[in-house]
Chain A
């Protein structure tokens, strides 16, 4: 009985969106901490490598990684499913597009596209860095992976930088709608609450902007020697 009612709840349109909002918000907060960590590139190569080494040598990392993968998969599966259901709910579209205040934002309309590109980005990103070339370095007498050198190497390739910038602009777009939206799905605030709407934009710009500073610094301003 209890199990069946939870299944009905989480299977309802509202229940699914609760999970999408929850996983989306958790992933958003993850992108913020990831971005903040990356800023250590501006402190020094050692600081950056040490941060990375500290993270991966903590046994709790496996739990955190498993959680992230699970949240990511739940988010993807449910949003793909919802997008299909939502499109089926309007089999014939309108001839004339909406305009003015009754228009839907571009970011909200294209969340499945920005999301799908993010999915591709994340897969390639893990391949490039997490499972990429292993250089080593020694910091304070401890031998560790030199992820800094690999990042600098990649950020010197114009094609890679272009792809990275595109992906981060799309992340910013996804967040510009998604961050505030998740609060409404969670039942906390209306997504158009004036403060939340401003915070949503600030969050998107800070996260995407923060990630973009490193490739720009490496490619155009010679960061990393």
Chain B
């Protein structure tokens, strides 16, 4: 392990002052950054340089930096969160790059995710989709007796897998259609598999899909780029399930 190796990276970063600004790529060189650093730490180093020079630092979203909050969001050389499978940008490490590499860093691009500044986009469209039905509206009170609502193990697993979605938007960013199907399908699937999700099942699917369309995300072309880009490994099986759920909601109405 040569964890102390220093490297120099050339960056092409999208800079955009605000939603109205046209925006453009700006070239930067980051020198002497440790190979053990994460991608976001490398951007921190860049920002320190910029601040010392009296320039505006690059704005990017981040919070937990341990791959669980879904805040970090950027296209790294055309790949959402970089080209490593099942990795968020904050968990991507520089050891996967070579000294002297040029890296292109762009914001998520989707009509439904307008750019706020530099690499920061407005992902509130996801919140509005959740508000349209991604919840269970009964007052559950205290935690029930653990075994009072039996859930078959397979269903519990499928629900847990879908619930792993951190809502980062990588699926939208990677999809050629900027489609939100993987996100919406994970949120619908997580509850369709559980007894608590049954009473509102049809309405949830219908309302969340209606909101998804209203936000002007694209349709699903079944390319699978979303699953490949998802840092949490959310599966295309959820999309097949959502397609079934909406048909089921229609037939039952």
Contact = CB atoms under 8 A, between A and B. Distances in A.
Nearest to B230: A102
A89 B179 contact: yes
Contact of B106 (A18, A96, A103, A181): A96
- The main secondary structure of chain A at its interface with chain B is helix
Size band of the interface chain A makes with B:
35 or more
Interface string B194-215: 0000000000000001101100
Contacts of B236: 184, 190-192
B59 to A, nearest CB: 18
Contacts of A185: 220, 222, 243
Contacts of B106: 94-96
A87 to B, nearest CB: 8
Interface string B124-160: 0000000000000000000000000000000000000
Interface string A178-194: 00110111111111100
A142 interface: no
Size band of the interface chain B makes with A:
35 or more
A8 B222 CA distance: 22
Interface in A120-162: none
Interface of A: 2, 5-6, 8-9, 12-18, 82, 85-105, 108-109, 111, 177, 180-181, 183-192
B84 to A, nearest CB: 9
B177 interface: yes
Contact of B212 (A9, A13, A191): A13
Nearest to B25: A95
A9 to B, nearest CB: 5
Contacts of B210: 8, 12
A68 B203 CA distance: 35
Interface string B71-111: 00001011110010100000000000000000010100111
The 6 closest A-B pairs by CB, nearest first: A187-B244, A89-B218, A187-B243, A86-B177, A190-B236, A181-B222
A108 B77 contact: no
9 contacts: A9-B250, A17-B219, A90-B177, A90-B218, A96-B78, A99-B79, A102-B79, A104-B176, A184-B222
